[in-house]
Structure 1
Amino acid sequence: MEVFESPALGRRALLLATLPSALLGCVVPVPSRVVHPQSPLPAKVLACYYAAWDTRTYGISDVPMDFNVTYLFHAKPNGPPVDRSWINVGDGSFRFDHHAEVTASQVQRCRARGQKVILTVGGERAGFNFDNRHKSRNFVESFRAMYDAFRGLDGCDFNNFEAKVGSSPAEMIWIAQQLKALYGPQFAITAPPEPNSPEDRAMLKAMADAGVLSWAAPQFYGWPGFNAAGFISNRTDDWVRDLGADKVVLGLAANYANGPSLQDCIREWETVRGRHPGIRGMFCWNAQFNLAGGNTWGKMMKARL
C-alpha cells in the first residue's frame, strides 16, 4: 500500500523526531492517510451513470456486470442554492448529499467485484468555475472527505464546466494532479463534455496534453440532432483528432426518451469503431433507465465493445 501525508503531517513527524523521549507520551499522534493500490483502468470501457436520487427501484449494486465502470452522479457545490441552482455557489468545496441512499458498503461491494466507481462532481444546475487556487484547494480537501466517507473511489468525473460555466484549464490540471498524487496514477480523471463545445474540447485537450486525463466522454443525448445518422460518428472524429482514440468514450442513451435509440447507438458505434479501432468505449445515461429496459442496451453494446 501507499501512504500519503500532508505537509502538516510531515512537519509533525519531524517535530516528534526532535522531541525528548520524556515528552513523547504527551503528544497525540496523527494517523497517516492510507491509500490502497488500485488495479489498472479498463482498456475498453462500458459505463453507466447511476442517479443517486433514484434508488427506490434499483441500487448501485444492481448495475449489471456487463458494465465495468459506474459513475455515481453526483456531488454538488457546497453552498446554498439560488433559485434551485448550485452553479458557482460556495467556496469551491463540494458535497455528496445521498450517503443514506448510496452507502459506502454498497460502493465497496461494486468495487470488490471489479466494477470501478467514479464520483461525478457537478452536472446540470451544479456547475462550478475553478478560476483560482483557493477554490481549487478547497475542492481537493472536500474530495478527500468524500473519498474517505465512501472508503475509497476509483476516480473523479468532472462535470462542473458544462453549459458555458467554464473553468481555468490550469486549475483543472492542478486539481487532477493533486488527486493523482493522493490516490495514485490509476485514479481516473474523466469528464462528460458537451460534444459541440469548442471550449470544452480545448480544456480537455489541455488536460490530455498535461498527462492527467484518463478519457473524455462527450454526451450525445438531450438534443434531437444527435439522432441523425452520422452526426455522432462525425463529431467523434473531432474529439479523436484532439485527444486520441484511447481517450475518447461515446456518451449514449439507454432506454432514454431524449437520446439516440438502441439502433442509433449500434449504427454510430459501429461506424466509430470502424474508423477508430482504438476508441476507448461508451457509456449510457443512465443505469436506472437501462435496468428498466431489462439491460437490453447493456447486453447489446457489451457484445460490440
Structure 2
Amino acid sequence: PLQPTPAATHRFVPYTTKKAATKSRTEILEHAKLAYLNVDQFKQLQRLVSEYGEGNWDLISGIMAIRAGDLQKNWRGYSVATVITRQWTRGEIEMLALCRAIGVCCRTTAKLIGTKLPLQCRRKTIKHSDCLPATSVHCPPNGPMYLVTAQQQPSSSLAISHAFGLQQSQGQIEIDQASLAIAREIVNRHTCPHSSGVSHILELAHRALPAYSQQTVNMCMLAILGSHPDYESGQQPPRSLLSAPPPFVKPLPVVPQEVAEETGDESMPDDLHRWSTYEIAVLTEYVEQNQGKKSWKCLATRLGTKTAAQCCNKYRSLRRYRKI
C-alpha cells in the first residue's frame, strides 16, 4: 500500500482542521478536542478507507487534514458499507427524542439510530411541528403488552393530543408480558449511580430478548428508562466522582445602605427591577477593582438580587450618562 511522505505527515497530523494550520503545535495540543465528522467528511473517509485500507490512517489524515486519532475514533463502529442519510424520518426523530429525554450522549444516540452521525444527532433541532413521544406502557387485561406512545406537541404546556397503540408490522412495538417483565427487571437492577450507563443496559436487553429486532428492543428500553425516576429529570443518574472544592472568592467590602432618595434609582421592596444605592455602590466598586476582566455572572452571584444581564445593562446605563 501507498505510504505517506514524512513531509505530509509532519504537516497535517498535529492539526485538527485546516483552520488550525496557522496555530502553533503547543496551542493545538492544549486545545485539541475530538472533532465529529459531517456527512461529506464521513463519505470521503469511506472512499479513502476503501481505497487505502483501515491501517493507513496517517495517509488518510494527510489527505483530509484531520488528526489520525480523530479519524480512528469517528470510524469506530462504522464500516465501508454503512449508509448515512441526511433526511430525518419520523422514526429517527422519535428515537432522538427518547434519547434526549433520558440524557443519552450524541455518540450513543447515533449508534442506536444507525443511519446518523453523532454530529447530526447533536445539531438536529426538533421543530414545533414534530410530535415528540411521551412513552408509557399500556397493560390490557387479556393479550400482549403494548408500548403506548402519547404524541405530545413541544409547546409550553406540552399538552398530550392523543395516544395510540404500537404494532410491530408498521414500525411500532409490540412486546409480550414476559419480555416486558424481563426488560423492567433489567432497568431496575442496573440503574444506579455506579452503573455503566444506557449502553450497558441496552446490551443486556439485546442478550435477554433475542426474539425481537434491535430497533424494537432499543425503543422499548428507552421508553422504560424514560419513565424511571432516575431518568425523568432529563439526565443520566449521577456518578460518585470526586470534585474539586470551589475556588475562594474574596468578598467585597460591605457598603452601608443609604436611605432611599426620591430620585427614581432606589428600589422599592416589591420592585426587583430598580437598583438601590447599595447595589449601585457594589457595582461601581466591582467595576473599579476589575477593569478589563469583569464577570457579570460573578457580580450577580454576589448581589443575589440581580441577574447578569441586569448588571450589564445597568453598567452600560451608568456609562452612558457618565455616572461611572
For normalisation by structure 2, the TM-score amounts to 0.21
Which has more radius of gyration? 2
Larger helix fraction of residues: 2
Larger strand fraction of residues: 1
The structure whose RCO (Cα within 8 Å, separation 6+) is larger is: 1
